[in-house]
Amino acid sequence: MGFYMKYLSLRVIVSISLFMSLKACTQSSNNPNELDNENLTCTIPSAMYPSKNLVIASHTDFTKKHYPERIASFKENPLSKNGIVFLGNSITENGGDWGKRFNNSKIKNRGIAGDTTEGVLARLDELTYCEQKQIFILIGINDLFRDDMTSEKVYENILKIVNQIHEKSPNTNIFVHTILPTSTLKIREKIQMTNELLRNSASKNPYQLIELHTEFTDKDGLMNMNLSHDGVHLNETGYRVWMKKIINLISL
C-alpha cells in the first residue's frame, strides 16, 4: 500500500508540473504584448526610408552623395524595437559605434556627415516606425554655417523634429543637445542664439535639454581646441567629455 501511495503521489506531481508548463507556454504564445521586445529587430518597409533620388537643398555636394549612401547602410543595419538612437550630423557619425562606447548593444548611430535639420526631417520615419526608447539629437551646425539660415529657422526645424517624433512615437524619450561651439567667430552669436531658444522652450516642449555647448567652450565662447581637431569636429577627448555628460541618461 505504501508503494502504491508513493506511485500516485509521483503521478500527481508530474501531472501538475506538466500542466503548469503547458499553461505558461500557452500564456506566452497567446499574449504577445507580454513578450520581451527589447532586442527584436524592426522589419521596416522601404517606404519608411528617404528615396535615393531625394535631394535636400541645404546639403553640400558631398552630402548629396553621402546621404543616400548612409541611408542604404541604415537599411542593411535596421533598428531594434525600443532601441536608442544618436541622431545628427558628422559629429555624431564620427563617434562610430556608440553601442560599444556605452557597452549597450541597443544604441545605434544615425549620424550623417553634412546633414542639416531639413535632412533629418526627411528621415524620421525609420525611427518612429520602430518606436525607439530614447533618441539623442545633436543637429544644426551645418545650417548655421549657411548665410541664409537664421537661428530662429534652425530652432523651428529642431522643434519640428521633436514634435514629429513625439506625435508618431509618443513613448519615446527625446533629448536635444545644445549646439556645440566652433572656432569660427562669425557664427558664434548664431549658435548662442539658437541654444538660448532651445533652453527657453525646453519646459514647454516634449524634449529634455542636454547642455553640451558649455562643456566645449573656451573663454571666448569658441571651441576649446583641446577637445577638437579642426574647430568643429571632436577628437577622442571631446567624445569622452560628451559621454560623461550623458552616461547617466542612457537606458539599460
Per-residue pLDDT tens for 111-161? Answer: 999 999 999 999 999 999 999 999 999 999 999 999 999 999 999 999 999
Residue 17 to residue 30: CA distance in whole angstroms: 20
State the chain's mean pLDDT as an integer: 88
Contacts of 43 (CB under 8 A, 6+ apart): 78
Reduced to 3 states (helix: H, G, I; strand: E, B; else coil), residue 85 is strand
Q: Give the burial class of 140: count Cβ atoms within 10 A of its Cβ; 0-12 exposed, 13-18 middle, 19 or more buried.
A: buried
pLDDT at 75: 96
Residue 206 to residue 173: CA distance in whole angstroms: 8
Per-residue pLDDT tens for 56-111? Answer: 999 999 999 999 999 999 999 999 999 999 999 999 999 999 999 999 999 999 99
Q: Which of 77, 167, 88 is nearest to 129 (CA)?
A: 167
The stretch 196-202 carries a mean pLDDT of: 98
The side-by-side arrangement of strands in the sheet containing 173-177 is: 107-111, 84-88, 134-138, 173-177, 208-210
Per-residue pLDDT tens for 207-223? Answer: 999 999 999 999 999 99
Answer with the residue of higher pLDDT: 152 or 1. 152
